[in-house]
């Protein structure tokens, strides 16, 4: 199958003005500005097939939003080739723009002082959607998101969750073939998150839309995406199934341990068996990460040397796995 | 060009702004005050005689037309362009298949409609109270509208390229305040350009500011000769071309920079 998004050796380097604190430095920066080159994205390559839902994950500042902005034409790549639906995004042609959409979780595209329905109608005109079809699409999405009662209230009076529903509807009115979602569930409560996820899934199934999303919520990714792209410090560290990522990383197990006596800081490092690492500690509850092959031996050692009142062995949670990648910067 | 989208945008912007009528009415009132003050000063100065050949009722006519022209040509949009660039809302303009010029024009046109709801009745009341004296021909009336349109385009585009310096400098709108001061002095607002002292008058006739406000007003109220009108329209058109070209260049370069460093 021909890919709908293709990214080849794409890099993005920002030149950031740089100066020391203080008046003298401020003045000299006027005459001799110093720049620091920051490589936000370093030569990444990937491609996405039509209808795929892919998550772009990575810590803050990893280059996710930069990548999305390059794919939508808001930023020009420093080098490399990008093709989205057969277009070069950086040219920002109207044909290209009519077939994509981007939802920025932290920036609203709704007109603030008038009801969402008015914004939808303006967008309908901008994308030249016939009135009848526009009404059908609004009705359909409004039903799916259960947001009928907010259509006629000014947007500024809506809650964050209600606004996010509006953002999604607004960006899907023209039925984009490619949808970019930048942290669509940021700051939303669990039930709104769930509803948005079902909605995105439904949209993908109905229209075979290709969706690339960034999120810090693993639930988003587990529910929506079969494939993840993990970016860190601008490098593409992993491209593949989510399951693959965790099995690649879960060379470890988690031991949860409750001690009957409080241990001092010094003691707690002294009793730590080889190959075990404390990842969390709360009074006398400890969470250890241990090598999978040494789990049995370490458990035995812990029981032998410490006043253990409770102990359990678990598979690491995906969040913890990802956290480790973010901290270490490598797989 | 996507006129359907543009029209819908104008309508919705207008709807948004009608929510804030009173805010805009206060702004409009603020813009009306300096010419009103100038009008009362010149009315008093003229007394029963004249100043520089302009009589009391002619001053009234001049300033009442000026209040309308000032309102119609004042481009409040330019004050928001900088914020839109700085705060990244520009991204929403750039991902739509609609020229950003429509976004700017829609707020420009919607704004005019809101302001005029306030300004026209006030000027009408002043006309009834102060009984200005108008002497203009049909020709002048027709040319007035042409000059008014050019004046708006000039003032709008001149402010636009300045506002778009926000692509490089964070507080480019300080320059807009400077533009307003220059307009106050040189556009015929503090006094009709014809009665400015010698050197100032020459400068005013050369700078773009008179062609943003005073020139169309003079066509309606000062019995300009055909030659004066022709020269005026020519200078106006030259400045308009410069403003349009500057806006275009600043936009292209600014957008290039924006897409290089991100919003």
- The helix (run of H) or strand (run of E) holding residue B230 is helix B226-261
CATH of the domain at A62: 3.40.50.300
**Is residue A310 located within the same domain as residue A204?**
no
Which residues partner with A285 through β-bridges?
A258, A282
Domain shared by A232 and A274, yes or no: no
Looking at the fold, whether A69 and A140 belong to one and the same domain comes out as: yes
pLDDT mean over B65-89: 90
Alpha helices in A178-312, H assignment, sequence order = 190-207, 218-224, 242-249, 265-270, 295-305
Query: What percent of chain B is predicted at pLDDT more than 90?
Result: 62
Contact assignment for B98 to A126 by CB distance below 8 Å: yes
Helix axes B214-221, B138-163, angle to 10 degrees: 170
Compare CB distances from A76 to B4, B98, B260 and report the shortest one's residue.
B260
> In chain A, how many domains are there?
2
- Is B96–A112 a contact, with Cβ atoms under 8 angstroms apart? no
Per-residue pLDDT tens over the stretch A288-327: 888 888 888 889 888 888 888 888 887 776 677 777 777 7
| Alpha carbon of residue B141 to chain centroid | 19
Which residues of chain A have a pLDDT value below 50? Answer: none
* Res. B3 pLDDT band, cuts 50 70 90: confident
Sign of CA dihedral A136, A192, A183, A158: positive
What is the total count of domains within chain B?
Answer: 1
| Residue A183 located in a structural domain | yes
Measured between beta carbons, which residues in chain A are less than 8 angstroms from residue B86?
Answer: none
Q: Residue A305: its pLDDT value, please?
A: 83
More confident residue, B217 or A274: B217
Residues of A in contact with B263 (CB under 8 A): 74
Residues 6+ apart with CB under 8 A from B194: B52, B53, B54, B201, B218, B222
Quick one: A137 and A284 in the same domain? no
Minimal CA separation from A38 to chain B, in Å = 11
Structure tokens at B243: 């403003």
Whether A324 maps to a domain, the answer reads no
Does residue A321 sit within a domain? no
CATH code assigned at A294: 3.30.70.1560
Q: What is the DSSP letter of B90?
A: H
User: For residues A173 and A137, is the Cβ–Cβ distance under 8 A?
Assistant: yes
Task: Quote the pLDDT of residue A249.
Answer: 66
Looking at the fold, whether A200 and A271 belong to one and the same domain comes out as no
Contact A290, A253 (CB under 8 A): yes
Q: What is the largest CA-CA distance in chain B?
A: 64
Alpha-carbon distance B231 to B222, whole Å? 15
**pLDDT above 60: residue B52:** yes
Task: State both tokens at A85.
Answer: 């639906």
Per-residue pLDDT tens over the stretch B200-214:
999 999 999 999 999
Q: Do the domain assignments include residue A199?
A: yes
A330: in domain: no
**Nearest chain A Cα to B97, which residue?**
A94
Expressed as residue numbers, the domain containing B63 is 3-261
The reply to whether residue A125 touches residue B8, judged by beta carbons under 8 angstroms, is yes
| Whether residue A167 sits in one domain with residue A276 | no
Chain B interface disruption, residue of A113, A120, A153, most B CBs within 10 A: A113
Same domain for A84 and A160?
yes
Q: What is the ipTM of this complex?
A: 0.83
Residue pair A101/A180 in contact by the 8 Å Cβ criterion: yes
Contact A110, A163 (CB under 8 A): yes
Q: What is the overall mean pLDDT for chain B?
A: 91
**Number of Cβ atoms within 10 Å of the Cβ of B130:** 17
Q: Give residue B216's pLDDT.
A: 97
- DSSP element (H, E) containing A273: none
Nearest to B261 by CA among B168, B161, B173: B168
Polymer length of chain B: 263
Q: What would you report as the CA-atom Rg of chain B, rounded to the nearest whole angstrom? A: 19
Host H or E run for residue A69: helix A64-71
Going by their DSSP bridges, the two strands A276-282 and A227-232 should be labelled as: unpaired
Interface test with A, best of B17, B95, B255, B260 (most A CBs within 10 A): B95
Domain that holds residue A148: 5-247
pLDDT at B150: 98
Highest mean pLDDT among B21-25, B151-155, B259-263: B151-155
Nearest to B63 by CA among B218, B223, B207: B218
């Amino acid at each position: 199958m021909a890919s709908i998004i293709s990214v080849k050796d794409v890099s993005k380097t920002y030149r950031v003005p740089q100066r020391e604190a203080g008046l003298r430095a401020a003045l000299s920066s006027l005459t001799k500005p110093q720049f620091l080159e920051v490589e936000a994205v370093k030569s990444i390559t990937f491609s996405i097939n039509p209808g795929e839902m892919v998550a772009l994950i990575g810590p803050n500042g990893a280059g996710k939003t930069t990548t999305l902005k390059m794919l939508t034409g808001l930023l020009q790549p420093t080098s490399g080739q990008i093709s989205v639906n057969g277009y070069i995004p950086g040219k920002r042609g109207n044909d290209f723009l009519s077939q994509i959409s981007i939802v920025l979780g932290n920036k609203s595209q709704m007109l603030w002082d008038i009801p969402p329905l008015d914004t939808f109608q303006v967008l309908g005109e901008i994308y030249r959607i016939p009135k009848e079809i526009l009404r059908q699409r609004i009705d359909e999405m409004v039903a799916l998101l259960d947001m009928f009662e907010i259509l006629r209230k000014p947007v500024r009076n809506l809650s964050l969750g209600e606004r996010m529903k509006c953002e999604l509807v607004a960006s899907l009115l023209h039925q984009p073939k490619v949808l970019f979602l930048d942290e669509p569930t940021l700051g939303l409560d669990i039930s709104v998150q769930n509803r948005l996820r079902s909605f995105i899934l439904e949209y993908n199934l109905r229209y075979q839309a290709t969706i690339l999303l960034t999120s810090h919520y693993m639930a988003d990714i587990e529910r929506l995406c079969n494939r993840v792209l993990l970016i860190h410090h601008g490098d593409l560290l992993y491209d593949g199934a989510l399951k693959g990522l965790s099995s690649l990383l879960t060379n470890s197990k988690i031991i949860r341990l409750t001690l009957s006596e409080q241990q001092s800081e010094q003691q707690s490092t002294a009793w730590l068996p080889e190959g075990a690492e404390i990842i969390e500690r709360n009074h006398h509850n400890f969470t250890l990460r241990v090598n999978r092959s040494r789990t049995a031996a370490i458990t035995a050692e812990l029981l032998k040397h410490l006043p253990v009142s409770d102990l359990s062995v678990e598979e690491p949670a995906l969040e913890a796995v990802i956290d480790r990648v973010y901290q270490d910067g490598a797989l | 060009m996507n006129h359907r989208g543009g029209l819908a945008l104008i309508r919705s912007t207008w709807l948004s702004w009608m929510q804030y009528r009173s805010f805009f009415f206060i702004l409009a009132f603020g813009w009306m005050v300096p010419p009103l003050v100038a009008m009362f000063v010149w009315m008093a100065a003229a007394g029963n005689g004249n100043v520089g050949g302009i009589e009391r009722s002619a001053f009234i006519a001049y300033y009442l037309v000026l209040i309308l022209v000032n309102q119609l040509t004042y481009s409040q949009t330019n004050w928001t362009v900088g914020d839109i660039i700085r705060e990244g809302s520009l991204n929403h303009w750039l991902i739509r298949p609609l020229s950003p010029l429509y976004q700017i024009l829609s707020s420009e046109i919607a704004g005019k409609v809101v302001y005029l709801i306030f300004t026209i009745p006030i000027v009408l009341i002043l006309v009834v109270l102060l009984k200005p004296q108008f002497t203009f021909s049909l020709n002048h009336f027709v040319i007035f509208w042409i000059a008014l349109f050019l004046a708006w385009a000039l003032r709008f585009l001149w402010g636009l390229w300045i506002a778009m310096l926000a692509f490089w400098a964070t507080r480019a709108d300080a320059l807009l305040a400077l533009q307003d001061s220059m307009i106050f002095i040189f556009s015929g607002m503090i006094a009709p350009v014809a009665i400015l002292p010698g050197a100032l008058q020459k400068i005013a006739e050369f700078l773009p500011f008179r062609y943003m406000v005073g020139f169309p007003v003079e066509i309606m109220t000062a019995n300009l000769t055909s030659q004066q009108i022709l020269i005026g329209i020519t200078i106006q058109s030259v400045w308009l071309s410069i403003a349009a070209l500057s806006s275009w260049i600043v936009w292209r370069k600014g957008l290039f920079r924006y897409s290089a460093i991100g919003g």
